[in-house]
């Protein structure tokens, strides 16, 4: 397939691996964070770590909007759908199985009678509202800058079409604010040793490469924006190592076929028209981050579910012993969590990082040797249960 297979060529990947090994100085370590969960899955799917020398370590960041959503916000959605029979809650599929407080997910709320429906886009939610004029359809808006423009367009279309039974529960968050929070470690926080970032691809298509200049200017950390194919990731790693060797901290763009310095200004204008920044927003694993999320402007308040239903946020804790918060900060790996691949699996996720298609735990489990180990352990436990039943 043209323009796909070219970026998955094994011979070129091995050549890049050799170039990285030659460039990496043996007297230092390189800790590079791939912020985006899509990169995490690409890294494991294509075996990128196997091509890297031992002193080049990839750290998995918080770049999964489903993963970083605080449990209290999910609980708000569960309460909304469960306590209001007139509501149809429309959500992307990867949000449905994330466990809230006491393990209650939107899927469990649906099983208990709440009208929760999976949609593929905000347009699907608008169609639901038009098809059910006697119901109130709430779209669970979530995502980084990539999915924010479609949500803004959905609100504008609802206004222009007079769809007054449609609203949005807005949980859109901002990538640069999270990167800044990772680098600006507060007193008492566990430090995250990051030498540079593999910058997100789709987000950068919207906001542009200039949005990350604070990383170099204020934190002296390089950023290389990368595409999602294995050669993209490997080339970006090489570019970061070359910067670090030279003592440089610059914003470079490997993904030039899609990303520009200023991004998609039309999309940015639409977002600016509909949304404004929240003073503060809680991120799972990162705590409260100033101006890191969006809310709906006053002139579109009739489409703001939080105002329409008088929704209020309450802090909530997740599953005991779940290390998702530390994994999202980059201070732990999924394999450091004692729940990983034992009691927490894709079939029975106890944390958000195992649910989402972009979660780090899901990547480790799906593409790593841990899947086989977990399946073997599950078979062993099943055999033990069967033996105990036979004895009884």
151: domain CATH number is 3.40.50.11740
pLDDT of residue 358: 86
Summarize the confidence of residues 26-44 as an average pLDDT. 93
Contact 385, 391 (CB under 8 A): no
pLDDT at 231 over 50: yes
DSSP designation for 99: -
User: Which two tokens mark 186?
Assistant: 């507060």
Same domain, 161 and 279: yes
Q: Which residue among 214, 234, 253 closes a domain? A: 253
Q: What is the pLDDT confidence band of residue 366, given thresholds at 50, 70 and 90?
A: confident
pLDDT of residue 374: 55
Residue 313 lies in a domain: no
Spell out the residues 6+ positions from residue 115 whose beta carbon is closer than 8 angstroms to its own: 81, 85, 87, 88, 89, 135
Q: What is the pLDDT confidence band of residue 105, given thresholds at 50, 70 and 90?
A: very high
Instruction: Give helix 370-391 / helix 360-367 axis angle, nearest 10°.
Output: 80
pLDDT: is 217 or 371 the higher one? 217
Same domain, 285 and 247: no
Spell out the residues 6+ positions from residue 66 whose beta carbon is closer than 8 angstroms to its own: 92, 94, 95, 98, 142, 352, 355, 356, 358, 359
Least confident of 40-54, 152-166, 235-249, 370-384: 370-384
Cα–Cα distance for residue pair 237/130, rounded to 1 Å: 48
Cα–Cα distance for residue pair 362/37, rounded to 1 Å: 10
Same domain, 43 and 75: no
Total structural domains within the chain: 3
Cα–Cα distance for residue pair 175/344, rounded to 1 Å: 28
Q: What is the pLDDT confidence band of residue 191, given thresholds at 50, 70 and 90?
A: low
- CA 360 vs. chain centroid, Å, equals 9
pLDDT at 218 over 60: yes
pLDDT at 378 over 70: no
Residue 185 lies in a domain: yes
pLDDT of residue 87: 98
Q: How many CB atoms lie within 10 A of CB 190?
A: 10
Q: Which residue among 216, 235, 253 closes a domain? A: 253
pLDDT: is 332 or 6 the higher one? 332
pLDDT of residue 192: 74
Each residue's pLDDT tens digit, 249-278: 999 999 999 999 999 999 999 999 999 999
User: Which two tokens mark 147?
Assistant: 């999915």
Q: What is the pLDDT confidence band of residue 248, given thresholds at 50, 70 and 90?
A: very high
C-alpha distances (whole Å) from 32 to each of 22, 109, 117, 134, 194 are: 17, 39, 38, 52, 6
In three state form, how does the secondary structure of 281-323 look? Answer: EEECCCEEEECCEEEECHHHHHHEHHHHCCCCCCCCCCCCCCC
Summarize the confidence of residues 352-379 as an average pLDDT. 77
Give the range with max mean pLDDT: 37-51, 78-92, 184-198: 78-92
Summarize the confidence of residues 223-237 as an average pLDDT. 97
Pairing of strands 196-199, 30-36: parallel
pLDDT at 61 over 50: yes
pLDDT of residue 187: 43
Cα–Cα distance for residue pair 373/46, rounded to 1 Å: 20
pLDDT of residue 193: 86
Residue 349 lies in a domain: yes
Each residue's pLDDT tens digit, 113-157: 999 999 999 999 999 999 999 999 999 999 999 999 999 999 999
Residue 318 lies in a domain: no
Same domain, 38 and 87: no
Residue 317 lies in a domain: no
Least confident of 18-22, 29-33, 358-362: 358-362
C-alpha distances (whole Å) from 239 to each of 7, 104, 219, 245 are: 17, 44, 18, 10
Same domain, 26 and 121: no
Contact 277, 271 (CB under 8 A): no
Least confident of 119-133, 332-346, 376-390: 376-390
Same domain, 169 and 180: no
User: Which two tokens mark 282?
Assistant: 């809680």
Spell out the residues 6+ positions from residue 362 whose beta carbon is closer than 8 angstroms to its own: 41, 346, 353, 354, 355, 356
Same domain, 86 and 110: yes
Same domain, 23 and 44: yes
Same domain, 89 and 210: no
pLDDT of residue 373: 59
Q: Which residue among 253, 274, 290 closes a domain? A: 253
Tell me the percentage of the chain whose pLDDT exceeds 70: 94
C-alpha distances (whole Å) from 128 to each of 9, 111, 171, 178, 242 are: 44, 20, 20, 33, 51
Contact 36, 203 (CB under 8 A): yes
Q: What is the pLDDT confidence band of residue 369, given thresholds at 50, 70 and 90?
A: low
Same domain, 166 and 182: no
Residue 96 lies in a domain: yes
pLDDT of residue 143: 95
DSSP string covering 185-199: PPTTSPP---SEEEE
Is the backbone of residue 291 left (phi > 0), alpha (psi -120 to 50) or beta? left
pLDDT: is 364 or 127 the higher one? 127
Residue 87 lies in a domain: yes
CATH number at residue 240: 3.40.50.11750
Least confident of 58-62, 163-167, 182-186, 320-324: 182-186
C-alpha distances (whole Å) from 379 to each of 274, 373, 386, 388 are: 52, 10, 11, 14
Cα atoms found within 13 Å of the Cα of residue 354, Cβ hemisphere only: 24
pLDDT: is 359 or 375 the higher one? 359
Same domain, 58 and 94: no
Same domain, 135 and 97: yes
Q: How many CB atoms lie within 10 A of CB 117?
A: 16
pLDDT of residue 357: 79
Tell me the percentage of the chain whose pLDDT exceeds 90: 74
Residue 131 lies in a domain: yes
Q: What is the pLDDT confidence band of residue 106, given thresholds at 50, 70 and 90?
A: very high
Instruction: Find the domain containing 298 and state its range.
Output: 67-173+263-308
pLDDT of residue 389: 73
């Amino acid at each position: 397939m043209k323009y796909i297979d070219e970026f998955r060529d094994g011979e070129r990947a091995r050549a890049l691996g050799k170039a990285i090994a030659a460039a990496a100085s043996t007297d230092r370590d390189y800790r590079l964070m791939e912020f985006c969960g899509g990169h995490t899955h690409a890294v494991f799917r294509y075996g990128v770590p196997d091509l890297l020398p031992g002193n080049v370590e990839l750290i998995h960041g918080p770049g999964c909007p489903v993963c970083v959503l605080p449990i209290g916000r999910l609980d708000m959605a569960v309460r909304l759908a469960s306590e209001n029979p007139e509501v149809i809650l429309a959500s992307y599929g990867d949000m449905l199985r994330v466990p809230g407080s006491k393990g209650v997910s939107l899927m469990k709320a649906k099983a208990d009678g709440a009208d929760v429906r999976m949609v593929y886009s905000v347009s699907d939610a608008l169609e639901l509202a038009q098809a059910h004029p006697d119901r109130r359809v709430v779209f669970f808006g979530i995502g980084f800058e990539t999915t924010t423009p479609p949500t803004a367009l959905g609100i504008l279309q609802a206004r222009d079409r007079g769809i007054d039974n449609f609203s949005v529960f807005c949980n859109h968050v901002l990538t640069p604010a999270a990167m800044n929070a990772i680098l600006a470690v507060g007193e008492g926080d566990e430090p995250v040793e990051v030498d540079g970032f593999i910058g997100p691809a789709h987000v950068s298509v919207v906001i542009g490469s200039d949005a990350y200049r604070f990383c170099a200017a204020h934190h002296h950390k390089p950023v290389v924006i990368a595409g999602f194919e294995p050669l993209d990731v490997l080339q970006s790693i090489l570019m970061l190592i070359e910067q670090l060797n030279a003592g440089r901290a610059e914003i470079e763009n490997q993904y030039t076929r899609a990303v520009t310095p200023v991004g998609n200004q039309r999309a940015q204008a639409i977002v600016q028209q509909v949304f404004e920044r929240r003073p503060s927003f809680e991120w799972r694993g990162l705590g409260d981050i100033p101006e890191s999320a969006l809310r709906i402007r006053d002139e579109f308040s009739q489409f703001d579910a939080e105002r329409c239903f008088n929704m209020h946020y309450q802090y909530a804790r997740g599953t005991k012993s779940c290390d998702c918060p530390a994994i999202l900060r980059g201070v732990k790996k999924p394999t450091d969590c004692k729940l990983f691949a034992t009691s927490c699996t894709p079939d029975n996720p106890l944390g958000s990082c195992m649910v989402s298609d972009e979660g780090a735990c899901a990547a480790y489990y799906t593409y790593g040797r841990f899947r086989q180990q977990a399946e073997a352990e599950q078979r062993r436990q099943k055999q033990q249960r069967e033996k105990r039943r036979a004895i009884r």
